[in-house]
A and B are shown apart, each in its own frame.
Chain A
């Protein structure tokens, strides 16, 4: 391997065909493209290998966006047989680029909610969670500051400079929340204003825009575990995160947290993450068996504790232990198809840029 490190730079696309043949000559390795958040435990992976005899190798991208970017770059000549971690805010793009092939995985155990964005024919959901605003209950004391009844409340002075959101261009929770706002303000009673007005008002109200979830939640937000982290600033008393983040806080905090999720109809976006087989994948059956393993009750029921997301299967909720379920909120999410997202996301992003 050491002898040819530089010659590789000049190898062209015409060579990749050869590599694929080399790669596949009789090995039982499943290559999976995925990203950081995917916290399949080592035990889960080795259990899969034990059951099927297929060993697993991961190719990593930085985040959900990175998975999509890598998939687009490697379109039609992928170096992997399975893609895990593209969510419904990116799924429309992926389908528009025809990245995935149809699969015949049986999805009848999967809940309708998990299939609400896409029916599973090209991409199979394996976990989900809603994204909404979390707030610090020690700030929202019910007297001086009350629990917001509408997103418009966040444009008032008591929230000036106290709300942290993620840049939708660099963060997928940020992107999901932007999508929720486009629908929320389209469906509300006021016909004169839309999401651009709200974002402009938020900007005027000194909303904090961070580049990723960690920075917003850990560094700016005062309601979570941030105060015990090195980089903590604590200037935000509300943050965009998962509606079950307070539950995760409680899970690790022995049923204690001062963070709560805002239960506001239509102001949340249900993020659904998918596993999909790319066009051009060689070993479809191996990929399929991994998807089936992923949505099997034994594995998928562990999503809340292993991956901190909801299971997509009917009848599996968050555990009661340590107040996980008690502190989590399941709001009425905004309804939007992935095609609709794909059709408008560029426009929304540009309008968001302009509003902020």
Chain B
């Protein structure tokens, strides 16, 4: 390999490992110093702190229930979308998978608006916040305190992660050669639904169900914004880390906090590592791919029949899910026009108003208005785009190249080296996604900021977290496309006398333009919506981002009735930008791409 090519291969890996592991390493060593405890000893400290009581149990229970319900609710959707020829099927899929790119703060305030006293559920007697109505009865009967909060949190996690189940399960279902399914029906080993389940569907789907489950579990396990707002009296480990992270890095001052953060971070890292290893093992065990239909013509989609019982049931289910997916977003928008106004002898009522929107650029909080925060966010997003997208493309290209080299390598040693280099790089870029935003933020703030405090005044500083979190999404959208590129194009171009750089710009990149648009839009959306890492880093930092600013507005004393509608108007703006980016993603998403984001 030539020197330039080698550099292009090694430099991104080194840079990215440095950005991921160095802050984490610094952060952990600092925590251990301040806490004066080993990471494992710190685990036992969590339960002895008031906010930490039950946090470990809560995190595991909440994440498990979220995962099981998300998968159970998602399977029928993936099944029907893949196999039934519904009118407007692709639009439905786009809507059902949209929540995944929505900023978590939008989901949090959306669900709050939905279940609050001004929301649509309250008049129906479904009061998820207080102990009244149906929920109150459940609480009285079971002695379970605030079941409504827990239900709302689980619902929000399902809302977020349904997309994963759909995206992971739809491809194997819709690409399955229909003759496979038909042939098993004619055999004794598949002549009833249970034996088909056992012999066909479970083996076919289990690797993808496992992947969707592990991802859903990790995302629910590391939930912060939703837990912070929907279950105020319960803590996930992620929330504990975020809210105690501020003082945790200061020697002689933050010992208690450092112990909580260190313990939580340790459990979280171990759990996530175990989940990822489990996932890898499950996918290897069920590695054999089903024969997929070769052409579209071979796919047989079940035509939509208007009157059958099954299709009425499906229609009903789909409409319910549609309402479920859209409701929090509509609630955010509606709330931006609602303000409490003093009326009558006692109290206030909610009334319609435009003042929230007209205060967007005037109501200043912490010397920042929503429009200023929006421009900060756009700046970070642009920076993320400029760095994460090229970095992700280079990574994807390197992983693909290493795989290719491994295939043609002459010696076993070389083959193994390149294979593990490819897998190692793949794992490395996915790592930030798995270890959670707050952990990344803590690495940056406890590691880097505590070592070099002046960094906190650099405006670009929070963008480091955004870049780390956006890069995996870029790689995931580019890698399949690079893999499916026909190598003949590049060879033909080489024969025409184009050099490697020219080939890259004239042949490969234009062929990848669709996936690059997808990757760029995703990177922008991820950066704009990023919450956990920024929240932690901005504790003592430069310019607020829009999601963090919306969060601060909601944490601001709300004596002034204008605060809520203004914050909701800001949230609506963020939502609208994300929606536009999502439309770009859907429009340029390559056909048949699945199992990726």
Contacts and interface: CB of A to CB of B under 8 A. Distances in A.
Contacts of B51: 167, 169-170, 209, 211
B196 interface: no
Interface residues of B, number: 78
A317 interface: no
Nearest to A203: B50
Contacts of B387: 5-6
Interface residues of A, number: 75
Contact of B233 (A60, A210, A350): A210
Contact of A213 (B342, B346, B366, B557): B557
Q: Which residue among A93, A169, A208, A251 has the maximum number of chain B CB atoms within 10 Å of its CB?
A: A169
Give the most central of A12, A62, A235, A254: most B CB within 10 Å.
A62
Contacts of B115: 230
A209 B49 CA distance: 12
Contacts of A356: 50
Most A C-beta atoms less than 10 A away, residue of B117, B340, B453, B561: B453
Contacts of B558: 214, 218, 225, 229
Nearest to A170: B243
Nearest to B229: A231
Contacts of B556: 36, 214
A356 B233 CA distance: 14
A40 interface: yes
Interface string A52-78: 000000111110011001101110010
A233 interface: yes
A69 B247 contact: yes
Contact of A19 (B256, B449, B454): B454
B458 interface: yes
A353 B557 CA distance: 26
B89 interface: no
Given A218-B558, A231-B129, A349-B256, 15 more contacts: A6-B19, A8-B458, A11-B452, A42-B364, A60-B538, A60-B542, A69-B246, A210-B232, A214-B556, A217-B557, A220-B232, A229-B116, A230-B112, A253-B342, A352-B50
Interface of B: 15, 19, 48-51, 109, 112-113, 115-119, 129-131, 146, 229, 232-233, 243-244, 246-247, 249-250, 253-254, 256-257, 335, 340, 342, 346-348, 350, 364-368, 383, 386-387, 448-461, 463-464, 538-542, 544, 552, 554-561, 564
Interface of A: 1-2, 5-6, 8-9, 11-13, 15-16, 19, 35-36, 38-42, 45, 58-62, 65-66, 69-70, 72-74, 77, 79, 93, 167, 169-170, 208-215, 217-220, 225, 227-235, 248-249, 251-254, 256, 258, 308, 349-350, 352-354, 356
22 contacts: A5-B383, A11-B455, A36-B365, A36-B555, A60-B544, A62-B552, A66-B539, A167-B51, A169-B51, A209-B233, A210-B232, A212-B555, A214-B554, A214-B557, A215-B232, A218-B557, A227-B117, A233-B130, A233-B232, A256-B342, A258-B346, A353-B50
